[in-house]
Chain A
Amino acid sequence: KAGVTQTPRYLIKTRGQQVTLSCSPISGHRSVSWYQQTPGQGLQFLFEYFSETQRNKGNFPGRFSGRQFSNSRSEMNVSTLELGDSALYLCASSLWGPNQPQHFGDGTRLSIL
């Protein structure tokens, strides 16, 4: 069974640009969550999607957005990139939601110059 796939693995952008990250969950999983991980703040919840609907959102500015498609694949978008957005972005999937073990992808390392 294929795991959670995140693309791209590495990304370099400059301030002011926008970026889109992709996540393909494990087959059959309908819940997809996104996290940001930085050395200073640790692992922080961005948002969770289930059946194409955002069910929960963390404390991030509106520049961070996401969506989920009918096949459960998800994308997250960050607009007007700032230096502080440099981080490892992790996606996790589960059958129904975060009260079940979540399976993580290897992440996308985003560097802002």
Chain B
Amino acid sequence: SQELEQSPQSLIVQEGKNLTINCTSSKTLYGLYWYKQKYGEGLIFLMMLQKGGEEKSHEKITAKLDEKKQQSSLHITASQPSHAGIYLCGALPTGTASKLTFGTGTRLQVTL
């Protein structure tokens, strides 16, 4: 089965600093989701990457998919307290009948 390892597990950054979260897959990545979760709440969809080399941005968050490295990175520029939460990557299944596998999660804290 596919496993997704995220690094770092947790991160504390000062407001205004940039940061990067990585998601590495044990198998070929055909695509990837990035989600954000506030503690004890549901997941909020950030973006979906479907092609190798694809890069997407939403506000100050940019994500990129490197198929060859079986890896994706999520970069936050000029972090704000509103960015705090748990970031989860999810491997895109290869068919509608396949199941979604999530990474181990990265907990981000942004200090003032």
A interface residues with partner B (beta carbon < 8 Å): 4, 31, 33, 35, 42-45, 48, 50, 55-56, 58, 88, 90, 92, 96-99, 101-107, 109
Contact = CB atoms under 8 A, between A and B. Distances in A.
B40 A88 contact: yes
A107 B41 contact: yes
A104 B99 contact: no
Contacts of A33: 99-100
Interface stretch (B21-29, B56-64, B101-109): B101-109
B91 to A, nearest CB: 10
Contacts, number: 67
User: What are the 8 A-B residue pairs with the smallest beta carbon separation, nearest first?
Assistant: A97-B96, A104-B42, A98-B100, A43-B102, A104-B43, A106-B42, A45-B99, A56-B99
Interface residues of B, number: 25
8 contacts: A42-B102, A43-B105, A44-B102, A56-B99, A92-B43, A98-B93, A99-B92, A99-B96
B51 to A, nearest CB: 14
B48 interface: yes
B42 A98 contact: no
